Amino acid sequence: MKSRIILSVAVAFAMLLPVGIVAIASAQDRDRDQLKTDQQLQDRDKLQTKDQLKEQEQLKEQEQTRERTREQTRTERPERPQHEKAERPERSGAGSGAVH
Of the pLDDT bands very low, low, confident and very high (cuts 50, 70, 90), residue 4 is confident
Q: Can you give the pLDDT at residue 90?
A: 59
Tens-place pLDDT, residues 47-71: 888 888 899 999 999 999 999 888 8
Cβ neighbours of residue 93 closer than 8 Å, sequence gap 6 or more: 100
Share of the chain above pLDDT 70, in %: 68
- Against a cut of 0.75, is the pTM above it? no
Tens-place pLDDT, residues 67-99: 988 888 877 665 666 665 555 655 655 555 555
Helix, strand, coil: what percent of the chain each, to 5? 80, 0, 20
Domain residue limits, the chain: 6-75
Give the Å distances, CA to CA, from 98 to 15, 93, 95: 124, 7, 8
